[in-house]
């Protein structure tokens, strides 16, 4: 009994050390705050990623400009092995070279329009007419045979614009943050997004409009419509997103982008107000003429997909082989310059690295930054990276290399400041992050929820059992105005919020890199 007591007493100091291990380094946090708030470069980084690089559709010239810029900047800061790392064949790049759409009769009016991605052009300036199709099922297409040659197709809409009674920009209220913190898994009824921030997995529904349009009517798919339009010799199809308003249009696309795939039929998204004007004129049998000149270019000289990777090498003799990873996706859609989705996340994560390098931090673990390609088409860059490096193909869990990953932090929900973190139901991580976020209550970043969130690159890590986390962010205008829209521009970035995010993440990365143990798996 005496021996047992002595053993128990001997263990007490070790237990005490373990308990204190997650107490944040307040002296380092003070340095991080001073550097991050007083000498931030986050907006300059965002400028080069957006207005200098341009739209960053995967494998496009804009994506390549941004990838080379980030690699060179990371090398300039002294990171190790900064590189563009291929993750497998992607397919064709695509670039919009010109887009002019205007109504020339019954009078002249320029129209707000963007082609969807990977579409063909119009072979120069075309003067054309519109045909309004009223379809309830696939059989109704036969009614329009022989009428579409050289014409532009509109599908009749039955929704209407209603006044917007709520502000575009929102932040989390105290009540909403409390609800997130108190979340229990048995109460989960959605994909993991909060009530006021649907986030990356959001599917637009009726909101500003009386009724949302769907992509299929009576068994008629949009793909069938495009096939019919091509067969009948139509010039293009126009559509309007159900949540578009005030000149904001949401436009993306979907390919095909495979090397041998045919060019997508010319398919343009029109501002809602312009679309409904054309529809009303057609319903009143007033002749409408359009001028349309769309030029696109496909790029096939390099079909590989790429991520940008760079590291701060670890210094601990044992722990330097382990990884603390941070990331954001570099690619965007093409109607604007992808500022909130997701140059904001890339600029913040680069700023995190800059802060740590400037402070001459010597982390015990290696800190690895990844800027992903192909996220907008299904997390393809991060999925392939995780599959190649960290996945056991038999068990679909992490392999020996994956076991060296302590944690992955992701940022990809717009420009809003960090309010806390989603733990993906990793209960063992909760006491750790409770301590690490405690010093940031004054910055509004202390909410911890076990709730899952989806739709972005942390899922590639979470899927094989590695701790992958996305931060809770204020929505600002992400869903209402900027996400995948022509308004996703530099001017919609919030400098103070991005500085706050970089400071919070830099602190968490430092704590994770110095911690005795890896972040626990769930």
With H, G, I as helix, E, B as strand and everything else as coil, classify residue 417: coil
Q: Are 484 and 403 in contact (CB under 8 A)?
A: no
Distance of CA 368 to the CA centre of its chain: 20
Residue 362 has what DSSP assignment? Answer: -
The predicted model scores a pTM of: 0.91
Q: Does residue 320 register a pLDDT over 80? A: yes
Contact 445, 417 (CB under 8 A): yes
The pLDDT tens digits of the residues spanning 341-388 come to 999 999 999 999 999 999 999 999 999 999 999 999 999 999 999 999
Which 3 state secondary structure label does DSSP give 241?
coil
> What is the b/e burial string over 403-430, where b = at least 16 CB atoms within 10 angstroms of the residue's CB?
bbbbbbbbbbbbbbbbbbbbbbbbeebe
Are 309 and 384 in contact by the 8 Å Cβ rule? The answer is: no
Confidence band of 255 (pLDDT split at 50, 70, 90): confident
Output the average pLDDT for the chain: 91
Average pLDDT of the residues in 215-238: 87
Per the CB < 8 A criterion, the answer to whether 32 and 503 are in contact is yes
Helix (H) or strand (E) holding 3: helix 2-20
503: its two tokens: 């400071």
Digit-coded pLDDT (tens) for 105-148: 999 999 999 999 999 999 999 999 999 999 988 899 999 999 99
Taking only Cα atoms into account, the Rg of the chain, rounded to an integer number of angstroms, comes to 25
Rounded to 10 degrees, the C-alpha dihedral 44/197/457/297 comes to -60
What is the arithmetic mean of pLDDT over 245-251? 95
Distances in whole angstroms, Cα of residue 173 to Cα of each of 178, 196, 200, 249: 9, 10, 20, 28
pLDDT per position as a tens digit, 375-427: 999 999 999 999 999 999 999 999 999 999 999 999 999 999 999 999 999 99
The H-or-E segment that residue 403 falls in is none
* C-alpha–C-alpha distance, residues 161 and 245, integer Å: 8
Q: How far apart are the C-alpha atoms of 62 and 49, rounded to whole Å?
A: 9
CB 492 within 8 A of CB 338: no
d(CA 128, CA 324): 57
**Contact assessment for residue 276 and residue 249, using Cβ atoms and an 8 Å cutoff:** no
Residue keyed to tokens 């005795």: 516
Find out if CATH 3.60.15.10 is the number for domain 96-162+207-297: no
Q: How confident is the model at residue 443 (pLDDT cuts 50, 70, 90)?
A: very high
Domain 24-90+303-514 listed as CATH 3.40.309.10 = no
pLDDT band at 203 (very low <50, low <70, confident <90, very high): very low
Question: Where does the chain hold its CATH 3.50.30.30 domain(s)?
Answer: 96-162+207-297
- CATH 3.40.630.10 positions along the chain are 24-90+303-514
């Amino acid at each position: 009994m005496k021996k047992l007591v002595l053993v128990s007493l001997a263990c007490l100091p070790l237990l005490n050390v373990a308990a204190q291990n997650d107490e944040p380094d307040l002296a380092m946090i003070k340095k991080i705050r001073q550097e991050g708030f007083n000498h931030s470069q986050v907006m300059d980084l965002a400028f080069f990623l957006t207005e200098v690089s341009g739209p960053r559709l995967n494998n496009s010239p804009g994506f390549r400009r941004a990838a080379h810029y980030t690699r060179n900047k990371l090398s300039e800061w002294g990171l190790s092995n900064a590189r563009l790392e291929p993750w497998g064949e992607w397919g064709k790049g695509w670039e919009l070279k010109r887009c002019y759409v205007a109504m020339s009769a019954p009078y002249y009016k320029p129209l707000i329009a963007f082609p969807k991605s990977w579409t063909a052009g119009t072979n120069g300036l075309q003067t054309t007419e519109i045909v309004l199709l009223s379809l309830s099922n696939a059989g109704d297409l036969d009614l329009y045979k022989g009428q579409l040659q050289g014409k532009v197709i509109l599908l009749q809409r039955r929704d209407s614009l209603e006044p917007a009674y709520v502000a575009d920009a929102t932040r989390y209220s105290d009540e909403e943050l409390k609800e997130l913190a108190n979340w229990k898994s048995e109460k989960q009824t959605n994909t993991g997004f909060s009530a006021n921030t649907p986030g990356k997995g959001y599917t637009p529904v009726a909101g500003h409009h009386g009724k949302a349009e769907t992509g299929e009517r009576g068994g008629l798919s949009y793909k069938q419509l495009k096939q019919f339009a091509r067969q009948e010799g139509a010039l293009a199809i126009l559509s309007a997103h159900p949540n578009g308003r005030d000149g904001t249009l949401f436009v993306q696309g979907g390919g095909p982008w495979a090397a041998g795939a045919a060019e997508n039929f010319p398919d343009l998204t029109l501002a809602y107000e312009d679309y409904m004007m054309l529809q009303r004129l057609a319903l009143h049998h007033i002749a409408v003429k359009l001028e349309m000149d769309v030029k696109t270019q496909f790029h096939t000289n390099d079909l590989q997909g790429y991520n940008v990777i760079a590291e701060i090498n670890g210094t601990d003799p044992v722990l330097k082989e382990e990884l603390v990873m941070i990331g954001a996706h570099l690619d965007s859609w093409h109607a604007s310059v992808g500022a909130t989705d997701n140059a904001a996340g890339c600029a913040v994560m680069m700023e995190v690295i800059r802060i740590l390098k400037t402070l001459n931090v010597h982390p015990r673990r290696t800190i690895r930054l990844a800027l992903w390609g192909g996220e907008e088409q299904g997390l393809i860059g991060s999925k392939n990276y995780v599959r190649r490096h960290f996945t056991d193909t038999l068990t679909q869990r992490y392999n020996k290399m994956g076991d060296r990953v302590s944690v992955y932090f992701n940022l990809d929900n717009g420009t809003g400041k960090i309010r806390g973190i989603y733990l993906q139901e990793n209960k063992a991580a909760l006491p750790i992050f409770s301590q690490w976020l405690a010093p940031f209550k004054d910055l509004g970043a202390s909410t911890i929820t076990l709730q899952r969130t989806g739709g972005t690159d942390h899922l590639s890590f979470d899927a094989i059992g590695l701790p992958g986390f996305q931060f809770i962010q204020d929505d600002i205008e992400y869903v209402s105005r900027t996400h995948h829209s022509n308004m996703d521009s530099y001017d919609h970035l919030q400098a103070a919020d991005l500085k706050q995010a970089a400071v919070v993440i830099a602190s968490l990365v430092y704590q994770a890199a110095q911690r005795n143990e890896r972040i626990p798996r769930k």
